[in-house]
Amino acid sequence: MDTPEEGGRADHLDNITIPSALITKSFGDRLKKAIDNGDMVNVNLDWREALPHPDERVEYEFWTNSNDECGPKCDSQIDFVKTFKGAAQVLEKKGYTEFTPHYITWYCPEAFILSKQCKSQCINHGRYCAPDPEQDFSRGYDGKDVVVQNLLQVCVFKVAKEHKKPWLWWDYVTDFAIRCPMKEKKYTKECADGVIKSFGLDHKAIDKCIGDPNADEENPVLKAEQDAQIGKGSRGDVTILPTLVINNRQYRGKLDKGPVLKALCAGFRETTEPAVCLSEDIQTNECLENNGGCWEDKAANITACKDTFRGRVCECPVVKGVKFVGDGYTHCEASGSGRCEINNGGCWKETRNGHTYSACTDEGCKCPVGFKGDGTHKCEDIDECKERTACQCKECKCKNTWGSYECGCSGGLLYMKEHDTCISNNGATGVGWNFLWVIFFGLVAAGIAGYAVYKYRIRSYMDSEIRAIMAQYMPLDNQGDVQSHSHHIEM
């Protein structure tokens, strides 16, 4: 395992300003050949497609440690946590990312468990170890102190995540580095407990997660950390501190806010990136120039160009709940209910003398009644009088209007639009009154007939009841047969 300490050569790193990257030998040979031929060679380092980007959430890990006395590497780690904290917490709170911190540990070989080195650098009887911060076993803090603080920081994250606030890890690590540095002899559990208390975290739950560092048994949390170091799939083992893993790929770049944020943005499926990935200091908005070559409706301020981290896509938009359909490049059209609310659905519309006609319908653009045309660019008034489609009777007088017509009759006649004919005004009145009288007398006759039927049924019912009662006391004209029949039954 690579240790986090640095030699004197690390001082030269800041002097290297030329962008560099590993390339394949075949590609290198092509570059050399092009240069030998005198060709102009222009190489751009583009990381936008370097990471898998399957969905709208990015999963990433940061492998680090709590040691602050290991030189430039330790300094760069804590500086990164401080500067990246704001962006990381925003992304986490809004569900754009799922972050997990990790800490590298190693184990002491069984033959050396009782050695001074293992006892000072390991906990749980040599199972989990870290290098001595100063590389001097006789002074300062020991490696086992680093392991305990690493374990505590993992447990802070686990407890915070259980309480739906995993982003508190960034706050805790930042404050711990400020309040509990090794140089001031405050790198202790007591100082860490004070930081934990300031964030209102469950102290008992954290202590339970830590367990007993002196016990001769495995610690489930640190065992899981050791297992996670082993590479799975295409990720590879984690052996270097610090290490970023984004969408199960190890990041190899500068540990600064800008480059790391760009790497995270490259892990989102296109068009699902958060707003921070589309800021000017992260990428160039390709929709600003010539609308990205996409369709747009300048009058309605609607465009199909959607800026993305990788460039742009031409995709018909959804505006105020109205979906536009089309290829996104040359054509987009509003569809469905409500489409007429957005720029009149792209259809013809005109207002004259306070009256408005529109060709927009839920199904598309269709000129309204009284007009003809394509419904999109133009609808012309139909002259019903000239085309003889209405008001054509002998006495009719036709006058065309915009979108309709007016029809009158000569000689004081009355126009009936339903029949497209003219009738006498007086005659129409007489006919109307005669019709009403017919209805009236018809209703009266129906009422009298109904009353007569009702009286007849009541009288017949009463007669039958009276005859039945009297038959019990005296013979009636038609009771002879009934009595004979009755005597026959008794015999």
All structural domains of the chain, each given as residue ranges with its CATH number in brackets, are: 44-278 (3.40.30.10), 286-343 (no CATH), 347-381 (no CATH)
Nearest to 339 by CA among 330, 329, 326: 326
Q: Alpha carbon of 451 to those of 275, 437, 439: distances in Å?
A: 84, 21, 18
User: Which is nearest to 164 in space by CA: 124, 196, 201, 218?
Assistant: 201
Nearest to 134 by CA among 5, 322, 313: 5
Q: What is the DSSP string of 108-141?
A: --GGGTTSHHHHHHEETTTTEE---TTS-TTSS-
Taking the whole predicted model, whether its pTM rises above 0.75 is answered as no
- What pLDDT is recorded for position 471? 67
Using only the alpha carbons of the chain, give its radius of gyration: 46
Residue 241: what pLDDT?
87
Cα–Cα dist 119/115, whole Å: 6
Name 270's Cβ contacts closer than 8 Å, sequence gap at least 6: 53, 308, 309, 310, 313
Question: Looking at residue 13, what is its pLDDT?
Answer: 60
The pLDDT of residue 168: 97
Contact assessment for residue 209 and residue 220, using Cβ atoms and an 8 Å cutoff: no
How much is the pLDDT for 488?
38
In tens digits, what is the pLDDT along the chain, a chain of 491 residues? 344 444 555 566 666 676 666 788 998 999 999 999 998 888 766 656 677 788 999 999 999 999 998 888 889 999 999 999 999 999 999 999 999 999 999 999 988 989 989 999 999 999 999 999 888 888 889 999 999 999 999 999 999 999 999 999 999 999 999 999 999 999 999 999 999 999 999 999 999 999 999 999 999 999 999 999 998 877 889 988 899 999 999 998 889 999 999 999 999 999 999 999 999 888 899 999 999 999 999 988 999 999 999 899 999 999 988 899 999 999 998 888 888 988 888 899 999 988 899 999 988 899 999 999 999 999 999 998 888 888 888 888 889 999 998 888 887 788 888 888 888 766 544 444 555 566 677 777 777 877 777 777 777 767 776 777 666 665 545 444 444 343 433 33
pLDDT of residue 441: 74
The confidence score (pLDDT) of residue 48 equals 63
What is the distance in angstroms between the CA of the first residue and the CA of the last residue of the chain? 127
Rounded distance between C-alpha atoms, residue 112 and residue 98, angstroms: 39
